[in-house]
Amino acid sequence: MMKPGKNYRGVMRRDVDADEFACDEHFTFTETSKHIAQKRNPRVFSGRYITITQKDNGELSPNFKHVDMDTPDFSTERYVQAVANELLWGLLGLRGE
């Protein structure tokens, strides 16, 4: 029995082919299995400035996190050095070197 207000995922099939509208037409609804969300590219490294994800084929992909560069204590040189260090630590740890 369907619950009022609940959304269902499935397929509705019209059982009888009729040329004109009739109040006694019959439809069958078949609920499909619930889709379980899966992470497509799991995060294998998470630092302060970058994350590294791994694709299905094993390829590693570095991603930058948002950085607020408008703060008075922001330094481009320190930021670049910190990102380089995180890339080095992340890749060394993942490759086992």
- The string of pLDDT tens digits covering residues 40-57 is 888 999 999 999 999 888
Assigned domain for 85 exists: yes
Assigned domain for 66 exists: yes
Assigned domain for 35 exists: no
Assigned domain for 62 exists: yes
Q: Evaluate whether 46 touches 89 at the Cβ level (below 8 Å).
A: no
Confidence at 3, pLDDT banded by 50, 70, 90? confident
Assigned domain for 21 exists: no
Residue-range definition of the domain harbouring residue 85: 43-95
Assigned domain for 91 exists: yes
The structural domain count of the chain equals 1
* pLDDT of 88 higher than 90: yes
pTM (2 d.p.): 0.57
Q: Which residues contact 79 (CB under 8 A, 6 or more apart)?
A: 49, 67, 69
